[in-house]
Structure 1
Amino acid sequence: MNTLSNESRYIQPDWNAPANVQAFVSTRPASPVGPSMADQHQPDFLQRRKEWLSSWGEELVKQWGWSAQPCWAKQVHGVDIIPASSPFGTEADAVWTDEVSRPCTVLTADCLPVLFCNRSGTRVAASHAGWRGLAAGVLESTVEQFDEAGEELIAWFGPAIGPKCFEVGSEVREAFIKALPEAEEAFVIGEKDRWFGDLYLLARQRLARLGITEISGGDRCTGLEEKVFHSYRRDGAASGRMVSAIWLTS
């Protein structure tokens, strides 16, 4: 179960994390739309995007009392993870920290945001798990940044494209099954050679292999909940992004 706060602008996890671990995902009303991805080949696109993210970061710092802005990693659907103190725009798809009041953030609009913490409340991380990154092992890379065994970790799934909307080709299904045979359970046949995949189940299967069983969230669909979430599959290049954030407090 999730709770809405701040005039329904943020969803905060309802999980058994330590009291000093704070987290949220912004809803559509709290997620300003930046430069359209349709303009990404324009010469000033990167500068406009940086200015947009910096402005949003300033608002979040004021609202949540962080000691620093997010590093706003450049997400490329890979498996690299970086410290939250990294420079703005460092290429990575996961962020971790053991510093108080420094946020780990990822941006999504259908891809699965996964937030992690250890039971001792000394380290947190955020992963951006689109299907490519998930299949390649971004969750495994994130878990490697924790010193504890999987049983000592807790995970929360933020809003992502749900199994009724995540339609893919057979090559996507085969990529998952090749790495993890039980992934076959996460796909339902559609029309012709298309399949509907359960991104949440695929992530749960991978975390279970790592010994992580305390997982919550995973009950929303960005594609269906148009008033609440942005969705790239639904809205195309004009889609905005939600931010998922996790941090430590003193």
Structure 2
Amino acid sequence: MSGRGVSAAIHPDWLVPDWELPASWPQVRAFMTTRAGGVSQGRHASMNVGRAVEDDPAAVAANRAHVDEVLGAPAVFLHQIHGADVLELAPMHLQGERPKADASFSTIRGLGCAIQVADCLPVLFVAPGVVGGAHAGWRGLAAGVLENTVHEISRAAGCEASELRAWLGPCIGPQRFEVGAEVLVACGADPASPDPAFFTYRTNERGEDRWLANLPALARQRLQEAGLSHISGGRWCTLSEPSRFFSFRHEPLAGRMVGAITLV
């Protein structure tokens, strides 16, 4: 399957992974959209790629087409269900209903992975000749979506997990992600004495005692335990910057962003 030739320029407000790849690896193109650079209006302004947030379908289609144009390849959007299934992409996945999975990888030049988020953590991966992405909210993390993705990409690339590069995109940050004790339990923490690197306890502005979860730190821990040492990103909070990022907790129907990656 061939690509689409020269890609359009990445919008200056979008995020680009800062990984350093060996010169011998195939080139990749990867980015993470923000709210900027699209055609949607109102609360969806402007780069909304979500179809289930009551946006104008024509605007969503135009925004997704622009993602493909910038990527230089068609990107496969998934029906994400907060699970741990990983899909190996094939051209057939560009047709018909979206495949149900929360991670994907591609070994085909010109066929891109797309991970849709609005507070959950998007993680993009590169290995020799393989790219991938995972949708990692707390449910997906607890279910093992990152470990499964690392395993599948390592297998497809024929390499050790330590060779993979991972980049963490914007998600709800550790000062804003309020959770219940069930999240600690699901992530393997003891609510009586959790590691403060991952969970802290405080009273919020409404006078409620709540746990705060550090989603990027939890993801880094799982990736490191899976064998990765090249991990970057994870510095942006979607809920703290609603003018730049879509945030489900700020406005559930405001819109969705996408992390996209393909082999060039």
Whether these two folds match at TM > 0.5 is yes
* 2:33 corresponds to 1:26: yes
What is the CA-CA distance between 1:135 and the residue it aligns to?
Answer: 0.9
* 2:19 corresponds to 1:15: yes
The answer to whether the 8 Å contact 2:107/2:131 transfers is: yes
Q: Tell me which amino acid in the other structure corresponds to 1:230.
A: F
TM-score using structure 1 length = 0.83
2:77 is aligned to 72
User: 2:88 pairs with 83, 89, 92, which one?
Assistant: 83
Give the unaligned 5+ runs of structure 1: 40-44
Separation of aligned partners in 2, 1:108 and 1:226: 14
The answer to whether the 8 Å contact 2:49/2:63 transfers is: no
User: Given the superposition, is the C-alpha separation of residues 224 and 135 from structure 1 closer, same or farther in structure 2, using an over 3 Å criterion?
Assistant: same
Q: Tell me which amino acid in the other structure corresponds to 1:243.
A: V
User: Given the superposition, is the C-alpha separation of residues 117 and 6 from structure 1 closer, same or farther in structure 2, using an over 3 Å criterion?
Assistant: closer
More displaced stretch, 198-207 vs 186-195:
186-195
Separation of aligned partners in 2, 1:239 and 1:203: 25
Map 1:1-250 to 2 at 5 A: 6-18=10-22, 20-30=27-37, 31-32=47-48, 34-35=50-51, 37=53, 54-66=61-73, 69-85=74-90, 86=93, 87=95, 88-118=97-127, 120=128, 122-145=129-152, 146-147=154-155, 148-178=159-189, 185-191=197-203, 193-236=209-252, 238-249=253-264
Give a deviation string over 1:106-141, Cα, whole Å, max 9, x none: 1000000000111x3x00110000110011100011
Could you say which structure has the higher helix fraction?
1
Q: Tell me which amino acid in the other structure corresponds to 1:114.
A: V
The answer to whether the 8 Å contact 2:50/2:257 transfers is: no
Separation of aligned partners in 2, 1:207 and 1:64: 26
User: Given the superposition, is the C-alpha separation of residues 79 and 53 from structure 1 closer, same or farther in structure 2, using an over 3 Å criterion?
Assistant: farther
Give the unaligned 5+ runs of structure 2: 1-8, 38-46
What is the CA-CA distance between 1:75 and the residue it aligns to?
Answer: 0.4
Separation of aligned partners in 2, 1:97 and 1:158: 19
Separation of aligned partners in 2, 1:24 and 1:97: 16
The answer to whether the 8 Å contact 1:183/1:205 transfers is: no
Identity value in percent:
39
Q: Per the alignment, in what secondary structure is the counterpart of residue 80 of structure 2?
A: coil
2:43 is aligned to none
Separation of aligned partners in 2, 1:184 and 1:133: 21
TM-score using structure 2 length = 0.79
Separation of aligned partners in 2, 1:117 and 1:7: 22
1:42 is aligned to none
User: Given the superposition, is the C-alpha separation of residues 182 and 126 from structure 1 closer, same or farther in structure 2, using an over 3 Å criterion?
Assistant: farther
What is the CA-CA distance between 1:182 and the residue it aligns to?
Answer: 7.6
Q: Tell me which amino acid in the other structure corresponds to 1:17.
A: L
Q: Per the alignment, in what secondary structure is the counterpart of residue 244 of structure 1?
A: strand
CA RMSD of aligned residues (A): 2.4
Moved over 6 A (4+): none
More displaced stretch, 86-95 vs 129-138:
86-95
